[in-house]
Amino acid sequence: MFRRIFMSALIAGFLGGAAISVVQQVTTTPIIHHAEQYEGQSKPDAAHHSLYQNPSNSLLVLTHGPQSTHEGEQGAWAPSDGLERFLFTGLANILTGTGFALILVACFALSRETVDGQRGVLWGLGGFAAISLAPALGLPPEVPGAMTADLVPRQSWWLLCVAATAAGLWMLVYRKGAIWMVAGIAAMALPHLIGAPQPDRIGGAVPPELAGHFAAASLVTAAIFWTILGWLSGTVWHRLGAR
């Protein structure tokens, strides 16, 4: 069983990460390159509010979880534009995809259901809802140079939102009765009732139109990623089980 889980996640994560790396080249990467042109134009008094999001880190797009780097660090190493940046982004996507595929396939095994490619897509959409969509309601994807709240509160809220959304979906799908339905909806709503941490001021050097475009493109890219990953995980899991 462990070998089946590991091999399914490894194959699905590699193929899914490679595929979404190509998709990012026409969705989010051009927007990030454009936003970086404004990054050095931020005001000095707002520097401590700005958290630089490393464009080569796929988590920025695939999960929208808070990322941590040194603020305002001008001398930090970063891959050069072109092939080097694409390769590092692809590697990050493959590692991220493999990790998420391990979670998906482990859920397949725990559910004791017959999961194929089509069923895997539903699981993938559930992962998108919990990891990307629900947290984006409070902490939308941010371009480089955007003002953000402190990292630790944002990370804590993001983890709470992911856990509450996943628990709520489990109650709605795998439990019957009005009580479970109400409990599931309440669990998913709880983080948003608490509210995500927000910066003291909203703004930054990047134009709001560009920031909004990036948020929309990131969510679409994440939906594509989770759909591909769910289908691949379910397909490989089913075929290895048949053998």
pLDDT for residue 151: 86
Instruction: State how far the Cα of 73 lies from the Cα of 81, in Å rounded to an integer.
Output: 18
pLDDT for residue 166: 95
- Over range 33-62, report the average pLDDT: 51
Per-residue pLDDT tens digits for 72-99: 444 556 666 677 888 888 999 999 999 9
End-to-end Cα, the chain, rounded Å: 12
- 33 sits in the region (left: phi over 0; alpha: psi -120 to 50; else beta) called alpha
- Say how many C-beta atoms besides its own lie within 10 A of residue 52's C-beta: 21
Instruction: State how far the Cα of 102 lies from the Cα of 121, in Å rounded to an integer.
Output: 15
pLDDT for residue 104: 94
Residue 194 one-letter amino acid: I
Say if residue 209's pLDDT is above 60.
yes
- Residue 140's nearest CA partner among 204, 95, 77, 81 is 204
User: 64-87 burial by CB neighbour count: b if 16+ within 10 A, else e?
Assistant: bbbbeeeeeeeeeeeeeeeeebbe
Judged by DSSP in three states, 147 sits in: strand
Instruction: State how far the Cα of 120 lies from the Cα of 104, in Å rounded to an integer.
Output: 8
pLDDT for residue 77: 60
- Over range 46-50, report the average pLDDT: 35
Domain count, the chain: 1
Q: Which domain holds residue 216?
A: 2-71+80-242
Q: Rg of the Cα trace of the chain?
A: 19
Per-residue pLDDT tens digits for 163-172: 999 999 999 9
Q: How confident is the model at residue 59 (pLDDT cuts 50, 70, 90)?
A: low
